[in-house]
Amino acid sequence: MDLKNLNKFRFLFFSALIIFIGILSVSAVSPFSITVNTGGIDKWYIPGVNSPWQTAGTQSLSILPGSYTFYGAYGSSSFSFTVDGGGNVACSNTYVTCSGSSVTINAPTITFNTGNVGNWYVYGVNNPWQPSGSQNLKMLPGSYTFYGAYGYGTFTFTIDSSGNVQYNAALEPFLSGAGTKTLTIDGYKLKVDGGCLDTYYGIFTNAGAAIEYPVSQGQISQEFYLIPGSYRVIYAGQFGDAFTVNSDGTVSPTSQVFHGCTVKLYGTDNTPPVTTKTPNFVDGDSVEDSFTLTCNDAESGCDKIMYSINGNPSVSFNCGGANTCSTTVSAPADSFSVQFYSSDVNGNNESVQTQTEFGDACPTLAGQSEFQGCPVGDKNTVTLHTVNIGGGSSSKAPLAGVQVRVFDRNDAAFQTVAGSKNPDGSLYGVIFEADAGRVGACTTDNTGVCIAGEAQVGDYLVIVKYVDSSTGKTVYVGRPKSPSDFVNGLAEKDFQIIKVFKKGVFQEEYRGGSKIVVITGSLLEIIAPESAVWEGTQSTYPFIFTSDSSWSVDLCAAVPSGYNVAGVYDEDGNLISTSECTQVFVAGETKVVAFEVVETGSPEPSLSATLKIKGPNGKSVTKNVQASDIRRNTFNEKVNVAKEKAAKHKNKVSAAAVRNLQENAVILETLLVLVIIALIIALVNVRRGFLSRKDHAFKFIR
Least confident of 318-322, 539-543, 650-654: 650-654
pLDDT at 138 over 90: yes
Pinpoint the alpha helices (H) of 424-542: 428-434
Q: Quickly state the pLDDT bin for 14 (edges 50, 70, 90).
A: low
Kindly report which listed range (55-69, 174-188, 223-237, 363-377) carries the lowest average pLDDT score.
Answer: 223-237
pLDDT exceeding 70 applies to what percent of the chain?
90
Write down the pLDDT at residue 27: 46
Could you write out the three-class secondary structure of 528-558?
EECCCEECCCEEEEEEEEEECCEEEEEEEEE
State mean pLDDT over 276-282.
94
Helix (H) or strand (E) holding 487, with range, is none
Q: Tens digits of per-residue pLDDT, 548-595?
A: 889 999 999 999 999 999 999 887 888 888 678 998 899 988 889 999
pLDDT confidence tier of residue 208, bands split at 50, 70 and 90 = confident
**pLDDT of 496 above 60:** yes
Residue 465 CB neighbours (<10 A) = 17
Residue 654 scores a pLDDT above 60: no
Task: Count CB neighbours of 233 within 10 A.
Answer: 23
Higher pLDDT, 686 or 566: 566
Per-residue pLDDT, 671:
76
Confidence of residue 108 (pLDDT cuts 50, 70, 90): very high
* Of 132-146, 184-198, 440-454, 674-688, the least confident: 674-688
Ranking 145-149, 331-335, 542-546, 563-567 by mean pLDDT, the lowest is: 331-335
620 pLDDT above the threshold of 70:
yes
Per residue in 51-98, pLDDT (tens digit) is 999 999 999 999 999 999 999 999 999 999 999 999 999 999 999 999
pTM: 0.57
pLDDT of residue 659 exceeding 70: no
The distance from CA 260 to its chain's CA centroid, rounded to whole angstroms, is: 38
Contact between 165 and 110 under an 8 Å Cβ cutoff? The reply is yes
- Residue range 188-266 in CATH 2.60.40: yes
Angle, alpha carbons 230-232-238 (nearest 5°): 155
Check residues 564 and 696 and name the one with the higher pLDDT.
Answer: 564
**CATH for 371-634, among 3.10.105.10, 3.40.30.10, 2.60.40.2550, 3.40.50.300?**
2.60.40.2550
Q: What pLDDT is recorded for position 23?
A: 46
- pLDDT at position 16 over 60: no
Return the percentage of the chain with pLDDT > 90, whole number: 54
- What is the SS3 assignment for 634-692? HHHHHHHHHHHHHHHHHHHHHHHHHHHHHHHHHHHHHHHHHHHHHHHHHHHHHHHHHHH
Residue 646 and residue 638: Cα distance in Å, rounded?
12
**pLDDT at position 26:** 43
Question: Among the listed ranges 59-73, 290-304, 685-699, which one has the minimum average pLDDT value?
Answer: 685-699
Please tell me the least confidently modeled range out of 107-111, 306-310, 545-549, 680-684: 680-684
The overall average pLDDT reported for the chain is 87
pLDDT class of 268 with cuts at 50, 70, 90: confident
Q: What is the pLDDT of residue 53?
A: 96
CA torsion 213-217-223-228 (nearest 10°) is 50
- Residue 427's pLDDT band, with cuts at 50, 70 and 90, is very high
For residue 422, what pLDDT band results from cuts at 50, 70 and 90?
very high
Residue 191 DSSP SS3? strand
572 against 494, higher pLDDT: 494
What gap in Å lies between CA 286 and CA 677, rounded to an integer? 52
Residue 63, SS3 per DSSP:
strand
Residue 696's pLDDT is 47
| pLDDT at res. 666 | 64
405-415 pLDDT per residue, tens = 999 999 999 99
User: Which tens digit of pLDDT belongs to each residue from 327-370?
Assistant: 999 998 878 999 999 999 878 999 999 999 888 999 989 999 89
- Residue 692, pLDDT > 60, answer no
Determine how many CB atoms are found less than 10 A away from the CB of residue 694. 10
**Length reported for the chain:** 702
Of 231-240, 272-281, 551-560, 645-654, give the lowest mean pLDDT range: 645-654
Given this model, what pLDDT does residue 218 score?
Answer: 56
For residue range 507-525, list pLDDT tens digits in order: 878 999 989 888 877 889 9
Instruction: Find the mean pLDDT for residues 14-36.
Output: 64
pLDDT of residue 236: 75
396: Cβ–Cβ under 8 A, 6 or more apart, which residues?
383, 384, 385, 386
Mean pLDDT of 111-116: 92
Which H or E run contains 19?
helix 3-26
- For the domain made up of 32-105, give the CATH fold: Immunoglobulin-like (2.60.40)
Supply the pLDDT for residue 420. 93
| 622, β-bridge pairs | 612
Q: Which of 207-216, 257-266, 462-471 has the highest mean pLDDT?
A: 462-471
- Shared fold status for 32-105 and 188-266: yes
If you average pLDDT over each of 450-459, 517-526, 652-661, which comes out highest?
450-459
Spell out the domain ranges in the chain: 32-105, 109-185, 188-266, 274-359, 371-634
Whether the CB-CB separation of 436 and 458 falls below 8 Å is answered with no
CATH of domain 274-359: 2.60.40.2550
The pLDDT of residue 46 is 98
DSSP E strands in 29-114: the ranges are 32-37, 58-63, 66-72, 77-83, 89-91, 96-99, 102-105, 109-113
**Band of pLDDT at residue 202, cut at 50, 70 and 90:** confident
**pLDDT of res. 12:** 56
Identify the pLDDT of residue 2: 57
